[in-house]
Structure 1
Amino acid sequence: MIDSYMRYGALAAKVKALYGKRLRFSDFEHMAGLPNEQSILDYLRTQPGWSAAVSAALSAMNTSGYVGRMELEDALRLQVWKEYEGLNHFVPRPDKNLVAFPLRQAELLAILGTLRRLKSHGRVREGILALPNLPFKVNRKALIACKDYNGLLAAVQGSIYYEPLLHIRPDNPDVLPDYTTTEALLRSTYFSHIYRIIYNSYSGETKSVLLKGMGERVDLLNIIHILRLKTYFPGDDQYYSALFPINYKLRPEKIKAMCDAADVSQVFAVLQDTPYVGRFTSLDVAGVEDCYRRSFYTFNKRQLVSGPPSIYTAVSYLNVKSTELKALVNVIESVKYGAHYDEDFARLVGE
């Protein structure tokens, strides 16, 4: 315990200071009742956890004369990256690979965004270039400029995603790989990469907490994927190609039984004999998705608030902050477009 305080005490103090600036449920409720995104921007100016993002948005307005939803959301995301950059200075060198997980996630999303663009011949989204100068393993400029799959491969060479993407390169250079298959492959690559770091670099209680944080997440995502196929594509039997090849509390025989189930009700019947029985608010996809986001957030918040100082203090804060950003984006889009304001989600994050 003393060693953990000596090693991670400064990191924990920094995290607690940042966490103290979070938005509360009353803040989300107030913003949800505002007339437009400009009003939200004005309100966020008074909130210490997001005021820097508002300053960045206003600075952009001085050159363009306009701050809309996209400009505000981009500024909010950029602030999360700047917090990551500042927090990373307190991370001990042996833990740098693990705490680079947001970079690997951003790379994955950038690759998928590029693949969507190539498939649809759509416009380039410049947001990836607006990130801080962090040690990404993909060439962001090359991703934006690439015109085909070979160009995409060249842009990601040196990253954890290069070999898997090379493996599925079509023989015909004018053909792109299936998007769903590629997404499943990249997400499996990401989780396998994090799992290896945890398994090889950590031990004891820290290893147990890290594995639980990732393991339950993977289990629930696999359940969600199976339920989505059973619900929306009942004739599709391509389960295994899109499942994550990691088991935590769900044994392989249970995964197989769920894949072989005739319908959604039989999937939940299989789950009755697993550690996830009774965890879902309803016996459908939405119920498991709600369980996923609640489990993910509450586990990380619990580790952040009451766990001893460890590298998971940083990991949990980054996960909590990214969830707060999602709740904030939901409020902005509900005000801007009249989209559903997810009060339950705001309450989860703000209490």
Structure 2
Amino acid sequence: MGTLLSYSGLSTKIRAMESQLINTEQLQEIVEMTNESQIVSYLKKQPGFARLWADLDENAVKCGIIEQHLQQTIYQNFTKIYRFANAGQKRFLDMYFRRYEMSVLKDCLRNLLDHREITLDLSRFEPFFNRHSKLKLPKLTECTAIPQFVEALSDSVFYPLLHQMANSGEDLLVFDYGMALDQFYFAQIWKMKNKFFTGRDLKEITMAYGQKFDLINLTWIYRARKYYHMNEDTVFTMLIPMHYHLSPEEIQALVQAKTEEEFESLLRKTYYGRRYEEVTAKDLEPAYTELMRSLLKREASRHPHSVIIMYSYLYQKEHEVRRLTTAVQCVRYGVPAQEAMRHVLRS
């Protein structure tokens, strides 16, 4: 009864927010538009965007502004849930929030290491981060070198990892930092879940993240061997060191597969190959998005009074923003609607 009461109000709130997500039919309407101003005007009339975008002038939209506003809707809806959550539920949200911090760090690192001649403007997100994060966005965006950037993170949980990497003496790329941040975040989640959750919440979180990590590992293995021709030792260092439905022996065999046909044969024998017979090796990346969305929606429907209701909504919201971002870019560059929709559905 305690779990039911603690989640009843939050579940109702999230269900209402979920009903406002943009659906496939609306995405089809968007990709058939001829310019970005039409997209802004359309979204401003949708319940999920009307209040958030009320002050956005569709006639003065500059390149990239829509994408920033789309990202902002994720933060705004996260804040709505956070304000409605109790202390226990906020522990999950605090843990989940690290992914948003990492996204900002990766943007900053790309700006520094790829030597982009652009100014990274994060001012739109500063109010949100001031409430939920120790990251100082103005300080980070002013950095012009990695040592300065790392020291700007001295009060954050990311400092020990990035300080060690920056002082390793190796010539590291954005990819190296990004991969290390991902592994750090995933390891923290896997460790903290047993501390924060019990009962149904623990079961749901373990299932959701366990399947997520397995699918990410499968995707990374396939891409690393097929597209980047990485050696086995390098591939192993990239993988998330947690196992759910994939055993260490299966992981090792997949990494050591000599051909795509051998990888496909091994994949078919795994839990995922048996359960999702329609998924092939080359479809792993788009399949990951759809399988996770389906899993989370199913579990949230079955157990609406558990932590999975928050995870499912946040995943769906981020999925919506990815698809809308792709749709906006297709309209911007004049991609035919039919082709644009294929890109959107694979986002």
Q: Above 0.5 in TM-score?
A: yes
Hey, what does 1:255 align to over in structure 2?
251
Shift of 1:15: 0.6
Q: Are 2:185 and 1:190 equivalent residues in the alignment?
A: yes
Post-superposition offset of 1:76? 2.1
* 1:27 match: 26
Q: Corresponding residue for 2:99? A: 105
1:96-115 residue CA offsets vs partner (Å, 9 max, x unmatched): 23212453112212222222
The alpha carbon displacement at 1:80 in A equals: 2.0
Aligned to 2:281: 284
* Counterpart residue number, 1:334: 330
Displacement of 1:344 in angstroms is 8.2
Query: Of the candidates 162, 166, 174, which is equivalent to residue 165 of structure 1?
Result: 162
Is 1:307 the counterpart of 2:307? The answer is no
**Equivalent position to 2:176, from 149, 173, 181:** 181
Aligned counterpart, 1:10? 9
1:130-183 deviation line (CA, Å, top 9, x unaligned): 3423321322222111122221212222333222112222355xx752332222
Q: Which runs of 5+ in 2 are unaligned?
A: none
Deviation at 1:248, TM superposition (A): 1.0
Query: Residues 178 and 334 (structure 1 numbering): CA distance in 2 closer, same or farther, change over 3 Å?
Result: closer
Q: Does 1:227 align with 2:202?
A: no
* Seq. identity, %: 21
**Equivalence for 1:137:** 134
Q: d(CA) in 1 for partners of 2:148 and 2:260?
A: 41
What's the C-alpha RMSD, in Å, of the aligned pairs? 2.3
Do the aligned partners of residues 103 and 159 (structure 1) sit closer, same or farther apart at CA in structure 2, a change above 3 Å counting?
A: same
2: CA distance, partners of 1:206 / 1:24: 28
| CA contact 1:281–1:290 (8 Å) conserved in 2 | no
Question: 1:20, 1:318 → 2: CA distance?
Answer: 13
TM-score by length of 2: 0.90
Shift of 1:20: 1.6
What do residues 167-223 of structure 1 show as CA deviations (whole Å, max 9, x unaligned)? 222355xx7523322222110111111122212121222111111111111111111
Q: Deviations over 1:275-332 (max 9, x none)?
A: 01142645333x1112201111112222333423122212211111111111111211
Counterpart selection for 1:80 from 70, 74, 78: 74
Aligned match of 1:68: 62
Deviation at 1:12, TM superposition (A): 0.8
1:66-91 CA-partner distances (Å, limit 9, x unpaired):
21341122122212211111210121
- Are 1:98 and 1:197, in contact at CA under 8 Å, matched by a contact in 2? no
User: What is residue 124 of structure 1 aligned with on the other side?
Assistant: 119
1:81 aligned partner, one-letter code = Y
Change (3 A) 1:189 1:98: same
Residues 78 and 314, structure 2, Cα contact 8 Å, conserved in 1: yes
Determine the C-alpha separation between the residues in 1 that align with 2:96 and 2:214.
Answer: 20
What's the CA shift for 1:345? Answer: 5.5
1:26-81 CA distance string (max 9 Å, x none): 211111111111111111122101123432422xx7xxx72134112212221221
- Looking at structure 1, the residues matched to 253 and 134 of structure 2 have their Cα atoms a distance apart, in angstroms, of 38
TM-fit CA distance, 1:127: 2.8
SS at match of 1:276: helix
